[in-house]
Amino acid sequence: MKKGVCLKCGSSDVYHAPNGARLEWRSGRSTFSEATCDTYVCTKCGYFEPYVSLRGDDPKRVDDIKANWKKVGKP
């Protein structure tokens, strides 16, 4: 998607909205964290991908993800 090609249908009708969505998650029993996401959408098939924006965001957010989310793949 970041290269302008839809990963689902192969269309080049991909549009990008920097800071287009907010992601919120629980990082403990009562604490919520949030981050700004860059969003991509294919206007042909509707496929949508958000990416956590790592530029300018508080580094504690990335540390929170690493501490509370499960890593995918091999450790």
Give residue-wise pLDDT tens across range 40-70: 999 999 999 988 877 665 666 777 778 877 8
SS3 35: strand
Q: Distance (Å, rounded) from C-alpha 19 to C-alpha 52? A: 9
pLDDT bucket at 29, cuts 50 / 70 / 90: low
The more confident residue out of 58 and 2 is 2
pLDDT of residue 45: 97
pTM: 0.66
